[in-house]
């Protein structure tokens, strides 16, 4: 997530409680105009938009959202879901910036998004404190899935695992089973910090780092063995809380938003693909995909134009996750085994119940002949539903099975 420095942006305590501790970042230049957004040129956005603009794809943006309407997001925003309507939110916020980077139209001189015809589903998890805010995560993921989002963007992270409800992992699995792609920021702890930030490290979540203007790892981007992809995180135009625009470090949160937008472009052009296939083509066409993933940039910076303009990238198997294939195979095997055990247990219980019923019938016949009434037997108890164990991060969470 973009760990917003206090020298750059001061959100209300509500929003700050959701964010990570502050770090030093390049100074941003505030203005009432949007910068040139050169990263769009580098990504060949104008050419890609002739092929796809993300139409038909809904992206859920889970963070703190503002309450004002922005001209560049007119017609792009679905109704905001707020889990705690009483929680105060800023007039303009981090979430609005992320939404604009994804689907902004540039109207009114505003931000141009990478997927300007995608729809944004804003999910506001603001709460009275960090525990309350992060506590909304499982419901936020489920809500996004229920509302038909194909992509979930989580542009924040925290190293404090205790803030992430254990139910979050189960929600991630449910989203995966529905074919939803989830991207989360790796964090802004610096290149030499190897921090396990949540929810990005959870199995099933695609961890995103940030690049600088030269395509190298941005100085703030957190390193780690689980990085999958990277996207521009510097020279990014965002909204300040007073509604003005500033250009500077957007952090890994901005990189996550742009990665989600890139996925929307690819998916809109290839609606028959699954999320696994969209992600696989993004990995195959990343700028360092011909080598093993690195701890600094994963498979490299996204290059959606390679998919849309050059027809590169092999979508591969629709039902096989490109980075967590072995992990999900184990989950499927465990689920199948649990189902088999349940059937065996049910069969044993039925057989036992038949024997008991036979004995009771015989006893009742005998007693009736003796004109005695047998005390009524206690009804058989209900078989409890199998307890769902919330999955903690698997030690093999960073499985890199190639397909």
Q: Are residues 171 and 205 in the same domain?
A: yes
Q: Are residues 224 and 163 in the same domain?
A: yes
d(CA 253, CA 266): 20
Q: Are residues 313 and 354 in the same domain?
A: no
Q: Are residues 259 and 379 in the same domain?
A: no
Q: Are residues 188 and 289 in the same domain?
A: yes
Q: Are residues 65 and 175 in the same domain?
A: yes
387 is a domain residue? yes
Q: Are residues 165 and 241 in the same domain?
A: yes
Q: Are residues 289 and 338 in the same domain?
A: no
d(CA 89, CA 11): 9
What confidence score (pLDDT) does residue 27 get?
38
Determine the structural domain holding residue 291 and report its residue range.
13-321
Q: How far is CA 117 from CA 56, 70, 308, 359, in A?
A: 8, 15, 16, 70
CATH code for the domain in which residue 277 is found: 3.40.50.200
Residue of 148, 4, 150 whose CA lies nearest to 63:
4
Which residue do the tokens 């957007």 mark? Answer: 250
225 is a domain residue? yes
What confidence score (pLDDT) does residue 353 get?
52
Domain termination site, one of 275, 305, 321: 321
**Cis upstream peptide for 199 (omega within 30°):** yes
CB 232 within 8 A of CB 219: no
Domain termination site, one of 276, 306, 321: 321
Per-residue pLDDT of the chain (403 residues; tens, 9 = 90+): 444 332 233 233 333 344 433 223 333 444 445 667 899 999 999 999 999 999 999 999 999 887 678 899 999 999 999 999 888 766 667 899 999 999 999 998 999 999 999 999 999 999 989 999 999 999 999 999 999 999 999 999 999 999 999 999 999 999 999 999 999 999 999 878 788 999 999 999 999 999 999 999 999 999 998 899 999 999 999 988 777 888 899 999 999 999 999 999 999 999 999 999 999 999 999 998 877 899 999 999 999 999 999 999 999 999 999 999 889 988 888 877 777 766 666 555 555 555 444 544 444 333 333 333 333 322 222 222 222 222 333 323 334 333 3
Q: Are residues 69 and 116 in the same domain?
A: yes
2 is a domain residue? no
Helices (H), 206-324: 251-269, 275-285, 304-308
Residue of 24, 8, 14, 40 whose CA lies nearest to 235:
40
CB 233 within 8 A of CB 252: yes
6 is a domain residue? no
105 is a domain residue? yes
Q: Are residues 243 and 102 in the same domain?
A: yes
How many domains does the chain contain in total?
2
Q: Are residues 153 and 34 in the same domain?
A: yes
Which residue do the tokens 């805010």 mark? Answer: 133
Q: Are residues 252 and 335 in the same domain?
A: no
349 is a domain residue? yes
Domain termination site, one of 292, 321, 350: 321
CB 244 within 8 A of CB 51: no
Cα angle, residue 266 at apex, residues 252 and 98 outer, rounded to 5° = 30
Which residue do the tokens 């990014």 mark? Answer: 236
Which DSSP string do the residues of 197-241 spell out, in sequence order? -BTTTSTTPEEEEEE-TTSSBPTTPPB-TTEEEEEE-SSEEEE-T
């Amino acid at each position: 997530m973009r760990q917003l420095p206090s020298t750059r942006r001061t959100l209300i305590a509500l929003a700050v409680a959701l964010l990570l501790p502050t770090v030093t970042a390049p100074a941003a230049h505030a203005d009432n105009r949007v910068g040139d957004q050169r990263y769009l040129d580098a990504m060949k956005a104008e050419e890609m938009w002739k092929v796809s603009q993300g139409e038909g794809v809904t992206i859920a943006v889970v963070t703190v959202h503002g309450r004002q309407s922005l001209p560049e997001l007119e017609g792009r925003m679905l109704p905001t879901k707020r889990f705690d309507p009483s929680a105060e939110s800023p007039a303009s916020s981090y979430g609005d910036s992320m939404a604009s980077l994804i689907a902004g139209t540039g109207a009114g001189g505003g931000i141009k998004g990478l997927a300007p015809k995608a729809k944004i589903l804003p999910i506001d998890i603001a709460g009275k404190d960090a525990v309350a805010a992060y506590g909304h995560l499982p419901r936020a993921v489920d809500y996004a899935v229920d509302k038909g989002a194909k992509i979930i963007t989580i542009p924040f992270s925290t190293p404090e695992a205790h803030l992430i409800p254990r139910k979050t992992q189960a929600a991630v699995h449910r989203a995966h089973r529905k074919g939803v792609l989830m991207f989360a920021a790796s964090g802004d702890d610096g290149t030499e910090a190897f921090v396990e930030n949540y929810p990005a490290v959870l199995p099933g979540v695609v961890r995103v780092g940030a690049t600088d203007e030269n395509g190298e790892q941005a100085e703030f981007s957190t390193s780690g063995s689980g990085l999958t992809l990277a996207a521009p995180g510097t020279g990014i135009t965002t909204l300040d809380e007073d509604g003005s625009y500033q250009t500077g470090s957007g952090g890994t949160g901005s990189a996550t938003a742009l990665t989600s937008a890139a996925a929307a472009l690819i998916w809109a052009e290839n609606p028959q693909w699954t999320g696994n296939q969209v992600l696989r083509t993004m990995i195959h066409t990343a700028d360092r995909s011909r080598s093993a993933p690195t701890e600094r940039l994963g498979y490299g910076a996204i290059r959606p134009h390679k998919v849309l303009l050059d027809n590169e990238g092999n979508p591969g198997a629709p039902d096989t996750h490109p980075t967590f294939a072995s992990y999900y195979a184990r989950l499927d095997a465990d689920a199948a085994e649990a189902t088999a055990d349940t059937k065996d247990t049910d069969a044993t219980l039925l057989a036992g119940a038949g024997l008991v019923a036979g004995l009771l019938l015989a006893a009742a016949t005998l007693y009736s002949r003796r004109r005695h009434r047998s005390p009524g037997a206690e009804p058989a108890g209900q078989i409890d539903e199998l307890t769902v164990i919330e999955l903690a991060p698997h030690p093999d969470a960073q499985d890199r099975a190639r397909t």
